[in-house]
């Protein structure tokens, strides 16, 4: 069953079986519109073709002496009427296409969003924001372009070819010979053209990207370039890329120059003229009808250019649809375990020979430790050692590959996910705050928080002071329209938020740097306060936090190379000692400096 955590009362059911079907189900949601689009496109081309018909008839009219003013006027008016219909239907076609395009964009973005809201926290814990964003903005926008101008131009081209040919047929079926042969040749030459052009277009675009990226890198690192006197080297690198681009550009232009379809058209037009004149000479059609025929064949010129560009847009749209559907249809394999254990957590966490991989890479190899309720565990290690993944196994963003993770002695897979997650909180590295007031952000997780509770939490989190330093205090707006907060300030607001939600297990991913000792004092205090009375996992660089944790886990390449309290590790672990090494007596001063042997000031 597709478990969802959020849904709307009346949701339109789109067909999610495949990208094309999905796009169609969107477009057909308002069935009137696509029908209107095709009718308008057909009408538009019919009107344009009829202008040619009326011109031809006028030709016949004036070449036969004895015509009346009234007849002439009628002819002129009919041309005007046809032109007017052409304009109106053209407008209608464009407007309808634009409507469909904007509706599809809006609806698909809406559908994606609702689906994302319905996905579990597991899903979101794994997703990269940038990736979701790209799909919600770019891919959704490509769907818009697919319809306007994409499908609109295709519909137009279709009728642009069909209707003149039908009309030519109604004048005199034999006239169809040349246009139909032309059509066949057109399709062949256009396909050949696309086959030759596409690879070069793609290569050219890619090369532009390469050239751009290479240059961007050199400019971004200009200090390094200048400091190492590598200006010439960078220039050569760039010009090499630029030359390759030039070659593609020239090749692209050459292929475009050799545009056979246009030659085929000119030839067909001339041959068609001859053919029509022959038939006229044989008395089967009037000269005016020759005029009409020439005009109708002339109309066939337009679709030859536009068609390629519009197919590209459609292809792009389908590719984007596929990416969006991927997200919408994604399911998380973890089952919510609704019938699982649901009880207050005391806070004991045990890892038992845990192994975990992610995207084919081994992240945790054999991790075992035991944390008692209320303990503060510091996790230290280099980037990529597995610290964050370890914490994500506790609230089941991921599941282990081998071994077990236990909370209060019970395997996390036996807990009800709802119960587990509501009692385990994470303060991430990148703290997300809404544009809203500070008070709103602090009370985000607690519906009925009073101002007093909010301020109390802020005080504990050492945030009260700086909040009051703003003119609007707790009502200060943050975000784009408001103040920008420093990393340390955001962290303390997140900590205040955590005070209000009061989790039993807290995971604190602390990576803000210390700029000044005063702020550092406050952050230390806030972190110590929040760690009390709950089991806290601290991913941190701060030696002051590591030193005083109840237990320290030293991770290296996915393994716990050591664990224990500070003094134990100092005696046992060489790596750990190295961290505090600067506090030992100084060895080896630089020669040429002052007298050696000055011990550390403290």
Partner 1 sequence: MGFILDGLESESYDREYRDRDLFARILSYFRPFSRKVVLVAGVLALNSIAGSGAPIAISRALDLASTNPTLLTLAQVSALVLILGAIAWVSNLVHQWVSARVVGDVVLKLREDALQATLGHDISFYEEHPSGKIVSRVTSDTQDFSDVVTLVVSLLSQILLVGFLAVWLVRINAALTGLLLVMAPFAIVVALSFRRVARRVTQNARRVTAKINAQIQESISGITVAKAFRKERSIYNTFDQNNRQAFRVGLRRGLTLNTIFPIMGLSSGVGVAVLMYAGALRVETGGLSPGDWYLFMQAVGYFWFPLMSIASFWSQFQDGLSAAERVFALIDAGPVVVQTASEPVERLAGGIEFRNMRFSYTETEVVLPDYSLSIRPGETLALVGHTGAGKSSVASLIARFYEFQGGELLIDGRDIRRFNLAEYRRHLGLVPQDPFLFSGSVGDNVRYARLDASDDEVRRAAMHIGGGDWLEDLPEGLETQAGERGSSLSMGQRQLVALARVLLKDPTILILDEATASVDPFTEAQIQEGLREIMRDRTSVIIAHRLWTVQRADRIVVMDHGRIIAEGTHDSLLAQGGHYAELYNTYFRHQSLEYIESVGG
Q: What residues between 174 and 213 interact with partner 1 by CB under 8 A?
A: 208, 211-213
Question: Which helix (H) or strand (E) is 571 found in, with range?
Answer: helix 566-572
- Interaction with partner 1 in 539-558: which residues (CB under 8 A)? 541-548, 556-557
Q: Nearer to partner 1 by C-beta: 92 or 318?
A: 92
Task: Please give the Cα distance from 296 to 282 (Å, whole number).
Answer: 21
Q: Which residues contact 23 (CB under 8 A, 6 or more apart)?
A: 104, 143, 146, 317, 318, 321
Q: Nearer to partner 1 by C-beta: 409 or 516?
A: 516
- Interaction with partner 1 in 404-433: which residues (CB under 8 A)? 421, 425-426, 432
240 binds partner 1 (CB under 8 A): no
228 binds partner 1 (CB under 8 A): yes
Q: Nearer to partner 1 by C-beta: 335 or 586?
A: 586
At residue 598, the 3 state secondary structure works out as coil
Task: Please give the Cα distance from 279 to 287 (Å, whole number).
Answer: 10
Among 23, 36, 146, 290, binds partner 1 (CB under 8 A): 290
* 209 C-beta neighbours (distance < 10 Å), count: 11
Task: Please give the Cα distance from 583 to 593 (Å, whole number).
Answer: 20
The one segment of 175-183, 186-194, 348-356, 513-521 that binds partner 1 by CB under 8 A: 513-521
- Interaction with partner 1 in 378-397: which residues (CB under 8 A)? 380-384
Q: Interior CA angle at 167 toward 165 and 173, to 5°?
A: 80
Task: Please give the Cα distance from 194 to 36 (Å, whole number).
Answer: 31
Binding mask 329-368 for partner 1 (x = CB under 8 A): ----------------------------------------
302 binds partner 1 (CB under 8 A): no
Among 95, 311, 358, 369, binds partner 1 (CB under 8 A): 95
CA distances from residue 566 to 558, 562, 580 in whole angstroms, order as listed: 21, 11, 11
At residue 48, the 3 state secondary structure works out as helix
Instruction: Find, among 153, 179, 152, the residue nearest to 299 by Cα.
Output: 179
**Burial classification of residue 73, based on how many CB atoms lie within 10 Å of its CB (0-12 exposed, 13-18 middle, 19 or more buried):** exposed
513 binds partner 1 (CB under 8 A): yes
Instruction: Find, among 468, 520, 517, 512, the residue nearest to 490 by Cα.
Output: 512
Among 1, 70, 452, 518, binds partner 1 (CB under 8 A): 518
Are 290 and 277 contacting, i.e. CB atoms less than 8 angstroms apart? yes
Q: Interior CA angle at 63 toward 61 and 67, to 5°?
A: 50
Q: Which residues contact 130 (CB under 8 A, 6 or more apart)?
A: none
Are 104 and 150 contacting, i.e. CB atoms less than 8 angstroms apart? no
Q: Nearer to partner 1 by C-beta: 20 or 103?
A: 103
Q: State the nearest-atom distance from the C-beta of 299 to partner 1, in Å.
A: 10
Are 371 and 420 contacting, i.e. CB atoms less than 8 angstroms apart? no
Q: Nearer to partner 1 by C-beta: 88 or 316?
A: 88
32 binds partner 1 (CB under 8 A): no
Q: Nearer to partner 1 by C-beta: 22 or 293?
A: 293
Binding mask 110-139 for partner 1 (x = CB under 8 A): x--xx-xx--xx--xx---x--xx--xx--
Q: Nearer to partner 1 by C-beta: 110 or 404?
A: 110
Are 474 and 451 contacting, i.e. CB atoms less than 8 angstroms apart? yes
Q: Nearer to partner 1 by C-beta: 258 or 402?
A: 258
**Burial classification of residue 398, based on how many CB atoms lie within 10 Å of its CB (0-12 exposed, 13-18 middle, 19 or more buried):** buried
Binding mask 254-283 for partner 1 (x = CB under 8 A): x-xxxx--xx--xx-xxx-xx--xx-xx--
234 binds partner 1 (CB under 8 A): yes
Q: Which residues contact 247 (CB under 8 A, 6 or more apart)?
A: none
Q: State the nearest-atom distance from the C-beta of 352 to partner 1, in Å.
A: 26
Are 363 and 392 contacting, i.e. CB atoms less than 8 angstroms apart? no
Binding mask 61-90 for partner 1 (x = CB under 8 A): xxx--------xx-xxx-xx-xxx-xxx-x
Task: Please give the Cα distance from 540 to 543 (Å, whole number).
Answer: 8
Q: Which residues contact 499 (CB under 8 A, 6 or more apart)?
A: 456, 457, 460, 461, 530
Residues touching partner 1, count (CB under 8 A): 166
Q: State the nearest-atom distance from the C-beta of 548 to partner 1, in Å.
A: 4
Q: State the nearest-atom distance from the C-beta of 80 to partner 1, in Å.
A: 4
Q: Nearer to partner 1 by C-beta: 17 or 486?
A: 486
The one segment of 180-188, 323-331, 336-344, 577-585 that binds partner 1 by CB under 8 A: 577-585
591 binds partner 1 (CB under 8 A): yes
Q: State the nearest-atom distance from the C-beta of 413 to partner 1, in Å.
A: 20
Q: State the nearest-atom distance from the C-beta of 163 to partner 1, in Å.
A: 15
At residue 367, the 3 state secondary structure works out as strand
Q: Nearer to partner 1 by C-beta: 30 or 548?
A: 548
Q: State the nearest-atom distance from the C-beta of 310 to partner 1, in Å.
A: 15
- Interaction with partner 1 in 432-491: which residues (CB under 8 A)? 432, 434-435, 444-445, 479-480
Question: Which helix (H) or strand (E) is 208 found in, with range?
Answer: helix 177-220
């Amino acid at each position: 069953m597709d478990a969802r955590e959020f849904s709307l009362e009346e949701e339109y059911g789109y067909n999610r079986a495949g990208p094309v079907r999905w796009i169609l189900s969107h477009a057909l949601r308002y069935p009137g519109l696509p029908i209107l689009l095709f009718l308008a496109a057909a009408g538009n081309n019919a009107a344009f073709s009829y202008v040619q018909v009326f011109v031809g008839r006028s030709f016949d009219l004036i070449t036969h002496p004895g015509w009346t003013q009234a007849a002439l006027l009628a002819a002129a008016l009919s041309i005007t009427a046809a032109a007017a219909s052409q304009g109106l239907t053209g407008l209608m076609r464009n407007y309808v296409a634009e409507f469909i395009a904007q509706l599809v964009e809006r609806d698909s973005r809406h559908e994606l969003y609702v689906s994302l809201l319905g996905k579990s926290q597991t899903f979101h814990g794994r997703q990269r924001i940038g990736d979701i964003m790209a799909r919600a903005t770019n891919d959704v926008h490509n769907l818009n372009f697919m319809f306007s101008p994409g499908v609109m131009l295709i519909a137009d081209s279709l009728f642009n070819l069909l209707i003149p040919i039908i009309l030519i047929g109604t004048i005199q079926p034999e006239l169809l010979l040349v246009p139909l042969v032309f059509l066949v040749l057109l399709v062949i030459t256009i396909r050949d053209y696309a086959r030759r052009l596409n690879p070069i277009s793609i290569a050219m675009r890619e090369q532009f990207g390469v050239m751009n990226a290479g240059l961007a890198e050199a400019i971004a690192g200009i200090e390094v370039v200048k400091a190492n006197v590598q200006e010439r080297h960078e220039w050569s690198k760039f010009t090499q890329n630029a030359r390759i681009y030039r070659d593609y550009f020239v090749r692209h232009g050459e292929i475009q120059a050799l545009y056979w379809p246009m030659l085929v058209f000119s030839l067909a037009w001339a041959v068609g003229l001859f053919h029509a004149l022959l038939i006229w000479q044989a008395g089967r059609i009037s000269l005016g009808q020759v005029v009409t025929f020439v005009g109708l064949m002339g109309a066939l010129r337009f679709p030859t250019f536009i068609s390629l560009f519009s197919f590209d847009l459609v292809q792009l749209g389908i590719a984007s649809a596929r990416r969006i559907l991927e997200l919408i249809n994604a399911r998380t394999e973890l089952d919510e375990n609704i019938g699982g254990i649901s009880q207050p957590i005391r806070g004991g966490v045990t890892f038992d020979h845990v192994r975990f991989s992610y995207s084919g890479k081994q992240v945790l190899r054999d991790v075992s430790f035991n944390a008692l309720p209320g303990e503060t565990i510091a996790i230290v290690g280099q980037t990529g050692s597995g610290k964050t993944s370890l914490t994500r196994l506790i609230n089941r963003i991921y599941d282990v590959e081998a071994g077990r993770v236990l909370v209060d002695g019970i395997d996390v897979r036996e807990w009800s996910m709802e119960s587990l997650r509501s009692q385990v909180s994470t303060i991430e590295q990148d703290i997300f705050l809404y544009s809203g007031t500070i008070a709103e952000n602090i009370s985000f997780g607690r519906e009925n928080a009073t101002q007093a509770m909010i301020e109390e939490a802020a005080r504990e989190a050492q945030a009260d002071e700086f909040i009051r330093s703003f003119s609007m205090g707790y009502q200060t707006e943050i975000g784009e329209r408001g103040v920008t907060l420093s990393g340390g300030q955001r962290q303390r607001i997140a900590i205040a938020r955590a005070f209000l939600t009061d989790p039993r297990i807290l995971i604190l991913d602390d990576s803000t740097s210390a700029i000044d000792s005063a702020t550092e004092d406050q952050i230390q205090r806030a972190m110590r306060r929040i760690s009390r009375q709950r089991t806290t996992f601290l991913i941190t660089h701060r030696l002051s936090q590591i030193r005083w944790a109840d237990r320290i886990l030293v991770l290296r390449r996915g393994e716990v190379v050591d664990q224990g309290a500070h003094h134990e590790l100092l005696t046992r672990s060489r790596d750990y000692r190295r961290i505090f090494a600067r506090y030992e007596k100084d060895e080896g001063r630089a020669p040429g400096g002052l007298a050696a042997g000055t011990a550390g000031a403290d």
